[in-house]
């Protein structure tokens, strides 16, 4: 909170009319986990821009201020058609802010909320664009750490913009940084298992997992893991397996499913190792070819085997003796499962047992992205 010469009390939520770095603040766009975003007008260039202002509460935390400045500087070093460009960073009456490119689009989270799912071809094209943006960032030794549908903006022309490097991490050879041991940063619904354990463990493959989890959401209409609290979601991501995509939507192209499943492997060494590998397989599938780095989904193999066995059984001739015995007994060649259903019984199926995760107060929210942090 600050006071101007006109005794006006300024907060991150009431900056309309102020001029920051030559940009006149017009109106609020959104309030997020780290601060408030405004639409503004850059007076010298006569163009619209966006201004992100760190919240009052977080401005008191030196670690958050460092992270906020890091976000601006890291993003300012990047120049890619699918990344939102950062123009300037500064302070105004003790309020921290940065100026960035204004994007007139809609977040994938809002689109999923309206549509339910994306067609596989469109989802593949979106992931391909985001992978290109990530590849550029990774080549600059920058990891995003918060890939999610909220941060993927779809423009009217079909172009994608990746936003919010708010918890970006620069990879350094000495391992130094502002992330403390045990701290968890990210959005639980899309967070890689190793990131849920300790944010110091993240690397490029953690971004690949989060992009795969967003891909999963676009294809299925649901997050890979759900829960009542952030902790419950994180524990499921670490310990459980997501529901197979082909069980949710059996008509999904197996090649697309194969890539998504490869991106979301629990162990980092079992995923694609670089975004270049992801891009290569996405482009192959887009061209009608099989992916090189991802095996076909097990569900597809099992279904194909079951269909082949059923076809072989139907085509096999019935031995005369068996046919006569069936007629004498009055039994038809009905599968055992079907006979059990007719008699009102059910075939035995293995039970599943689940252990409840520890529940902490506070609901886990999909929108806006509640960040789970523990120190």
CA distance 116 to 113: 6
How far is 264 from 156, CA to CA, in rounded Å?
Answer: 29
Helix, strand, coil percent values for the chain (each to nearest 5): 40, 15, 45
Catalytic residue among 109, 135, 146, 150: 146
Q: Which has the closest alpha carbon to 152: 204, 207, 195?
A: 207
List the beta strands (DSSP E) in the chain: 2-3, 9-10, 19-20, 23-31, 35-42, 47-54, 86-92, 95-101, 106-107, 142-143, 152-154, 160-162, 169-170
Contact 65, 143 (CB under 8 A): no
Collect all residues with Cβ–Cβ distance below 8 Å to 101 and sequence separation of at least 6.
49, 50, 84, 85, 86, 87
Place of tokens 């992330």: 179
48 given a catalytic annotation: no
Q: Number of helices (H) and strands (E), helices first, in the chain? A: 13, 13
Q: Which residues are catalytic?
A: 146
């Amino acid at each position: 909170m600050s006071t101007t010469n006109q005794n006006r009390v300024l907060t991150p939520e009431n900056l309309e009319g102020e001029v920051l770095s030559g940009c006149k603040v017009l109106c609020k766009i959104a309030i997020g986990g780290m601060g408030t975003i405004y639409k503004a007008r850059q007076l010298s260039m006569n163009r619209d821009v966006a201004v992100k202002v760190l919240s009052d509460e977080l401005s008191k935390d030196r670690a958050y201020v460092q992270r906020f400045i890091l976000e601006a500087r890291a993003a300012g070093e990047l120049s890619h058609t699918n990344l939102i460009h950062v123009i300037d960073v500064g302070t105004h009456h003790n309020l921290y802010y940065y100026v960035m490119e204004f994007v007139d689009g809609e977040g994938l989270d809002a689109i999923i909320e309206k549509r339910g799912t994306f067609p596989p071809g469109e989802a593949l094209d979106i992931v391909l664009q985001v992978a290109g943006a990530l590849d550029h960032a990774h080549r600059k030794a920058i990891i995003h750490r918060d890939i999610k549908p909220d941060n993927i903006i779809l423009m009217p022309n079909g172009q994608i913009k990746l936003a919010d490097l708010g918890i970006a991490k620069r990879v350094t050879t000495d391992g130094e940084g502002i992330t403390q041991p045990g701290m968890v940063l990210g959005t639980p619904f899309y967070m890689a298992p190793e990131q849920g354990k300790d944010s110091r463990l993240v690397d490029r493959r953690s971004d690949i997992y989060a992009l795969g989890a967003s891909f999963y959401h676009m294809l299925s209409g649901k997050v890979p893991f759900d829960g009542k609290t952030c902790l419950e979601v994180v524990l499921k991501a670490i310990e459980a397996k997501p529901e197979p995509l082909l069980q949710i939507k059996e008509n999904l192209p197996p090649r697309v499913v194969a890539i998504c499943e490869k991106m979301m492997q629990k162990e980092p060494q079992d995923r694609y190792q670089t975004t270049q590998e992801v891009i290569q397989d996405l482009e192959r599938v887009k061209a009608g070819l099989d992916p090189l780095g991802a095996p076909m989904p097990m569900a597809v193999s099992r279904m194909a085997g079951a269909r082949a066995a059923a076809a072989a059984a139907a085509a096999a001739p019935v031995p005369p003796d068996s046919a006569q015995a069936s007629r004498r007994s009055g039994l038809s060649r009905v599968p055992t499962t079907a006979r059990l259903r007719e008699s009102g019984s059910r075939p035995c199926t293995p039970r599943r047992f689940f252990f409840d995760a520890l529940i902490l107060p506070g609901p886990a929210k999909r929108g806006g992205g509640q960040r789970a942090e523990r120190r």
